[in-house]
Every structure is written in C-alpha cells, then in structure tokens.
Amino acid sequence: MPFDQTEVRWDLACGAGVDGRWHGWFDVRTHADALRRHGLHPEQSTARITAPSPPGWWHAAAERHARW
C-alpha cells in the first residue's frame, strides 16, 4: 500500500435523511506529506474540483458499461 496506516483516515456516517431514507457518507482524509511523496500536494490547482460534475445520463451510461 502506498500509504502508511497513520497517513490515511476514513470514516463512515449513516443516518436517516429528511425523507426518512437511510443515507451513508464516507469521509477520507490523507496527510499532505503523504501526497507530496507521490508527487501531489494540496496547493495544486488540479487537486480541487474545477468543473461541474457530468450530467446524470453520463454516470448512468458509465455504470451500465462498467465491467467488474
């Protein structure tokens, strides 16, 4: 694994939404020094979302064509 156990943290939160349905959220955090070791760093402009997400049909098509 490219990261040490102490460099990455992930959490899962679950709960009922306002519509009564259950939802889950993942939170993944990586130390900046661990990213720098792989040539990445938080100050890179490409490390942030720079454009809107593709439309829903694009995601649905990608899931239909995914091979497991």
pLDDT tens profile 5-56 = 889 999 999 999 889 999 998 888 988 888 888 888 767 766 667 788 888 8
pLDDT recorded at residue 11: 92
pTM to 2 decimals? 0.47
Assigned domain for 65 exists: no
In whole angstroms, what is the distance from residue 56 CA to residue 48 CA? Answer: 21
Structural domain includes residue 24: yes
pLDDT at 52: 86
The verdict on residue 67 lying in a domain is no
CB 52 within 8 A of CB 62: no
68 in a domain, yes or no? no
Residue-level pLDDT at 5: 86
Number of domains in the chain: 1
**How much is the pLDDT for 56?**
85
CB 34 within 8 A of CB 8: yes
Structural domain contains residue 11:
yes
pLDDT given at position 40: 81
Q: Which domain holds residue 24?
A: 1-48
**Phi, psi angles (nearest 5°) of residue 48:** -115, 160
Residue 32 included in any domain? yes
Cβ atoms of 27 and 8 within 8 Å: the answer is no
Instruction: Tell me if 57 is assigned to some domain.
Output: no
Q: How many CB atoms within 10 Å of residue 30? A: 15
